[in-house]
Structure 1
Amino acid sequence: MPPLDLLAVSLLVRWLLGWLLCLRMPALPELTPQGQPRVSVLIPARNEALTLPQLLEALAHQSLHPLEVIVIDDHSSDATATLAQAAGVTVLPAAPLPVGWCGKTWALQQGVDHSQGDVLVFLDADTEPGPPFLAQLVANQQRHGGLVSVQPFHRTEQPYEQLSVLFNLVGLMAVPLGAGVGVAFGPAMATSRRDYERIGGHASVADKVVEDWFLAHRYEAAGLPVSAFIGDGSLAYRMYPGGLGDMVVGFDKNFATAAGEVRWPRMLGVLLWLSGLFWAAWCLPAALLHWPMVGSPALVPNLVLYGGYALQLLVITRRVGSFGWINLIFPVPVLFFLGVFVLAILNLERGSITWKGRQVPTR
C-alpha cells in the first residue's frame, strides 16, 4: 500500500476512535426517590456572588425539598455570604484553612460536620439544576449506592467560552461513564452519610486539588460503587464567567493532576484521536497557504479530512455543551488547548498556581 494510503487509513482510524470514545455517555437516569430521604445540600463558596443566587433560586424550586441547604462561605471578599443569607439558607463561615488542606475539601468537611441529613449532596456554586435534578440524583444514589456524580452540561454565553470545547469533550472521552465505573465529577455528587464516614470523608483527600478523582478511589478501596453520568437535560453550569483569564487558570489548575489519573488504554485512544484532529487542523490551512506539510498538498482530500472532523465535533459536542460555530473553525480551540497544556507543564515545574487568591499546589 502506498504511503499516502497508509496515512489515509491511519487518519480514518483516528476519526472513528472519536465516535467510539463518545459511544456511551449516559445522562442521569430519571428515577424517583424511595421513601422520604433526609437530604443535606452542601455548597462550598468562595467569591461566588455572580453564580450562587441562581443556584439557590433553583434549589427553592426542586421537586424534592432538601432538609437543609448549607452554604460554606470560604472567606469570600464579595457579597457571597450576604446573598446566601438573603436567600434564607444556612450560611456557615469557614474556619481558617489548616495546613495540608485545600479550600474546597476543608469547606465541605466542615459543612458535613454541621449537617443533619442522611444523604449528602455536594454542589458547586455555579451549577444550575433543573427542578427534577435533586430527586433524580438522590434516587440514583439510592439505586446504585456509594458515590454518584454528574458532569453538568456546559452552557456558554460569551465567545471566549467556546474555546473550552476540547477540555469539556476530552474530559468525558477519557473516562468510562455509567453505573459502577469508578469515576467521579466534583460539581455534583451524592452519597449516604454512612458511606461518606466509612471512607473518611473529605479529610481522606484533604490536600487534593482534584478531590473528586481521589474520593472515587477512596470509595472503590472501601468496596463501594462509584457511578458517573452527564447532566444533559438535568444539570448545567456556566464555567468561568469571570473572563478568559479565569478560564485559562481554571483549566490549567486541573490539567496535569487529572491527566495522571486517566487509565492508559483510554488515554491512548484520546491521544490518537487528538493527533488526527491536530493533523486536520494543520493540513487544510497548510494546503491553502502552501505551508510545509507531510502528506498530499492537494486541496480536496484535506478539505474532506477537515470537514469530517468538523462534522464529528458538531455531533458529539451537542450533549456536552452549547458549542456550535467554534467546531467549524476547530484549529482555534486546538491552539488554545495546546497553549493551556504548555502553561500547565510550566506550572507543574513551578509547583503552584494562584487561584481565587490562594496558592494551589500543582504537584
Structure 2
Amino acid sequence: MTASEVINLILGGLGVAIAVILFWSLPVPRFTSKNTEELPFLSIIIPARNEEGRITPLLQSLQEQRFKGFEVLLVDDDSSDRTAAIAESYGVTVLQNNGAGKSSACWRGAKEAKGTWLLFLDADTRFMSVDGLRNLLHVYQGKGARGILALQPYHTVQRVYEHLSIVFNIIVVVGMNLFTVWGSRFKAAGSFGPCILCNRDDYFLSGGHEKIEGAIMDDLALGEAFLEQNLPVRCLGGRGIISFRMYPEGVGSLIEGWCKSFAVGSKSTHPVVMLMVILWITGSLTTASSLISSIIVGNTTAMIVYGVLYILYAVQTAWFARRVGNFRLGYFPFYPLFFLFFAGIFIYSFVRVNVFHSVRWKGRNIKV
C-alpha cells in the first residue's frame, strides 16, 4: 500500500475506534411502576407558531394520559394558520404572544402557569404511551426534583428524505458532552430543547426564558442559565417516553431547521468532543473514497481492507442511529450520503451565521 493509502487506513480505523468513545451510551429514564408518591400539579407549556400540521399527535397523546394532574397552555406565537383553533378543540388554554419568538412564548406561558412543576414541550413531540407523562414526572421526582430534566425525543421517520437527519440526530446527542466514555466529566453544553421539565422555583431563580430571549439555541442557553445558579441539568434519551417526527413538511424545512441549529450549537460542544466528531466524520468519508479508488484501480488487497472498514462504519452508524430514532436499516449501506449531506449543511450554516449573520426559520429572518 502507498503512503497515502496507509494514512487513509489509519484515519478510517481511528474514526471507528474514537466513535465508540464518543457515543459510549445514551441513558434513558428509569422508573418503577411501584412508585406511589404523590405528584405535584404540572403546567405543560407548548410554544407554537404555524403548527397546524404537527400539533394534533401531541394534544391527542396528552388527552390519553392516565395521569390527569396537569394543565396545558399553548402559547400561539402569531400563527397565521389554525394552530390556536386546533388547540382549543382539545380543551387547551390558548395564550396569544406577539410573535417575538420561542423564548418569549415560553416566558409568557411560565408567567401564566399555575403548576409547581413546568414542562416545556415542542409542538412536534408526543408521548409514546398512556403512562409516559407520569413516568417522566416520577423520574424527575426520583432525582430530587431540582434543576432541569431534559429528554431528546426518539425520532420517528415515515418518508425516505427524513433519513437525511441521521447524522444530525447523532451529533445533537453527543454534542451535549455527556455521553462519552467519561460520562459527566465534561460540562453539559446546555439542555435538550424539545422536552424540558423543571420546578417553578428553580426556573424563575435562573431567570428562565426571559434571561435568554433572543438566543438562537434557546435550549442550550436555558441549560447554561440553570448551571450558572448551580442547578443540575440532566439530559437523557427519550426512547420509551416521548418521540417526535422532525420536518414532515419536506426537504426544504429539514435544511432550514438544521441550518438554524448547527453552526451556533456547535460552539457549546467541548473541544475534545468536537475533535472526536471531526475525526469520525473524516474517517467515514476517507474510508468510502478509498474503497471507491481501490475498486477503480483494481487493488484487491485495498478493496478487502477498506471494504471491511466500510462495513464497520455502516454497522456503527446504524447502531448509533437506532439509539436515537427508528431509522430503517436498509439505508445504512449508503451511509456516506448522510455524512456528505451533514457536511454540506454544516458549511452552509456556518456561512449563514458567520458571513450573513442571519438564518431563516418559519418565514422569519433571524439575526445572529
Mean alpha-carbon deviation: is it higher for 135-144 or for 156-165?
135-144
Query: Which of 312, 319, 334 is equivalent to 2:339?
Result: 334
Query: Which of 305, 325, 342 is equivalent to 2:330?
Result: 325
Q: What CA distance in whole angstroms lies between the structure 2 residues aligned with 1:232 and 1:179?
A: 20
Q: Deviations over 1:323-348 (max 9, x none)?
A: 22221101111221121112112211
Aligned residue number for residue 226 of structure 1: 233
CA shift, 1:64, in A, is 2.1
8 Å CA contact 2:11, 2:286 repeated in 1: no
Q: What CA distance in whole angstroms lies between the structure 2 residues aligned with 1:141 and 1:233?
A: 15
Equivalent residue of 2:150, what SS? strand
Aligned residue number for residue 305 of structure 2: 301
Aligned residue number for residue 38 of structure 2: 35
Aligned residue number for residue 176 of structure 1: 178
Residues 131-210 of structure 1 aligned to structure 2 (within 5 Å): 131-144=130-143, 145-174=146-175, 175-177=177-179, 182=188, 183-210=190-217
1:350 aligns with 2:359: no
Q: TM-score, normalised by structure 1?
A: 0.92
Aligned residue number for residue 100 of structure 1: none
Equivalent residue of 2:311, what SS? helix
CA shift, 1:158, in A, is 0.8
> Which amino acid counterpart does residue 135 of structure 1 have in structure 2?
R
Equivalent residue of 2:323, what SS? coil
1:83 aligns with 2:86: yes
Q: What CA distance in whole angstroms lies between the structure 1 residues aligned with 2:334 and 2:296?
A: 16
Aligned residue number for residue 103 of structure 2: 105
8 Å CA contact 2:8, 2:287 repeated in 1: no
1:12 aligns with 2:13: yes
Aligned residue pair count? 354
CA shift, 1:55, in A, is 0.2
Aligned-residue CA RMSD (Å) = 2.2
8 Å CA contact 2:45, 2:121 repeated in 1: yes
Q: TM-score, normalised by structure 2?
A: 0.90
Q: What CA distance in whole angstroms lies between the structure 1 residues aligned with 2:25 and 2:36?
A: 25
CA shift, 1:18, in A, is 1.3
Aligned residue number for residue 115 of structure 1: 113
Aligned residue number for residue 294 of structure 2: 287
Q: What CA distance in whole angstroms lies between the structure 2 residues aligned with 1:60 and 1:343?
A: 40
Equivalent residue of 1:318, what SS? helix
> Which amino acid counterpart does residue 123 of structure 1 have in structure 2?
L
8 Å CA contact 1:281, 1:334 repeated in 2: no
Aligned residue number for residue 62 of structure 2: 59
Structure 2 CA distance for partners of 1:290 and 1:83, relative to 1, 3 Å: farther
Gaps of 5+ in 2: none
Structure 2 CA distance for partners of 1:33 and 1:208, relative to 1, 3 Å: farther
Equivalent residue of 2:264, what SS? helix
Q: Deviations over 1:271-318 (max 9, x none)?
A: 111111121232222333459xxx998321121111110111122211
8 Å CA contact 1:147, 1:225 repeated in 2: yes
Structure 2 CA distance for partners of 1:193 and 1:33, relative to 1, 3 Å: farther
Structure 2 CA distance for partners of 1:185 and 1:281, relative to 1, 3 Å: same
Q: What CA distance in whole angstroms lies between the structure 1 residues aligned with 2:272 and 2:195?
A: 27
CA shift, 1:125, in A, is 0.3
1:74 aligns with 2:77: yes
> Which amino acid counterpart does residue 333 of structure 2 have in structure 1?
L
> Which amino acid counterpart does residue 115 of structure 1 have in structure 2?
A
CA shift, 1:96, in A, is 4.8
Gaps of 5+ in 1: 98-102
Q: Deviations over 1:113-167 (max 9, x none)?
A: 1110000000000002122222222223223320110001111111100011000
Q: Deviations over 1:8-47 (max 9, x none)?
A: 3443232111122222210122254732311000001111
CA shift, 1:249, in A, is 0.6
Query: Which of 250, 253, 263 is equivalent to 1:246?
Result: 253
Equivalent residue of 2:75, what SS? strand
CA shift, 1:75, in A, is 1.0
8 Å CA contact 2:314, 2:333 repeated in 1: yes
8 Å CA contact 1:184, 1:226 repeated in 2: yes
Q: Deviations over 1:73-118 (max 9, x none)?
A: 1111111111101111111111353xxxxx0001110011111000
> Which amino acid counterpart does residue 178 of structure 2 have in structure 1?
P
